[in-house]
Amino acid sequence: MADIPGIIEGAHLGKGIGLRFLRHIERNSILLFMIPCDSKNIKNDYDILLNELKQFNPELLDKARVLAITKCDMLDAGLIEEMRKELPEEIKSVFISSVAQMGIDELKDMLWIELNK
């Protein structure tokens, strides 16, 4: 499993930890996309990360994926429900906070199910 906050736009061109990290991802069976809840546009950030994978190796798009929205201890239930409507529909998602231990069990369960498919 790999978490995908390590990718930045241009990673497929070697920016950031770029190619080294992308080669690491090729060996994983599931990809965990982690985007903070204070992102200006979570769907756009997800699309950027997905595009970097596609540019590097289109076969990476065939891997199982989960989206974790992080730092959610800053949100109330109403805001989470509003944000949920804006998330990409093609990926399973969960709102988490490591500080508040929110959504962590749900995330582990989601990953376990995906890993055992």
What CATH number is associated with residue 83? 3.40.50.300
Q: How many domains does the chain contain in total? A: 1
Show the tokens assigned to 37: 């809840």
Helix or strand run (H / E) with residue 83 = helix 77-84
With CA atoms as reference, report the closest residue to 1 among 17, 23, 24, 18. 24
Predicted TM-score of the model (pTM)? 0.83
Q: Which residues, 6 or more positions from 67, have their beta carbon under 8 angstroms from its beta carbon?
A: 32, 33, 34, 35, 46, 87, 88, 91, 92, 93, 94
Nearest-10 Cα torsion for 29, 63, 67, 85: -160
- pLDDT of res. 12: 56
Amino acid 80: pLDDT: 96
Domain extent, residue 44, equals 2-115
pLDDT tens sequence across 15-55: 555 556 667 778 888 989 999 999 999 999 999 989 888 98
